[in-house]
Amino acid sequence: MAGSKQQWDLLRIMALKLALLRATTIRQQFKALIPERVRVVASITANNGHSTSQSELRDGSVITVKRESLGAGEKAFIQDGEIKSNAPDLAQYEVEV
């Protein structure tokens, strides 16, 4: 009888480990769906001359970003406070749901 209790305990431990492994895998899959860093589109308004640029976000706020790779008037993708690349100049629409 003692041997069967040990076997059941071992099976319970293995089942718990398997459940934990599945939960971790599901959590990792879910995290992969969520972007870790936010990327925004901004209009470059000026190059400051010391590897930074002024840019205006769509809500009208002005921020200073790293790099001077784009000229004034161009749209840029900003990520982690840095110009990553140029962005297409597309119309913006707001829709309430």
DSSP three-state, residue 27: helix
DSSP three-state, residue 23: helix
Domain covering 39-86 in this structure, CATH number: 2.40.50
Identify the pLDDT of residue 55. 95
Identify the pLDDT of residue 22. 75
Listed by start position, the domains of the chain span 1-34, 39-86
Handedness of CA 96, 40, 80, 66 (dihedral sign): negative
Is the pLDDT reported for residue 44 higher than 90? Answer: yes
Q: Taking the C-alpha atoms of 5, 8, 12 and 17 in order, what is their torsion angle to the nearest 10 degrees?
A: 110
For residues 76 and 41, the answer to whether their CB atoms sit within 8 Å is: yes
DSSP three-state, residue 10: helix
Identify the pLDDT of residue 54. 96
Identify the pLDDT of residue 17. 81
Q: Which two tokens stand for residue 63?
A: 């921020």
Averaged pLDDT score across all residues of the chain: 85
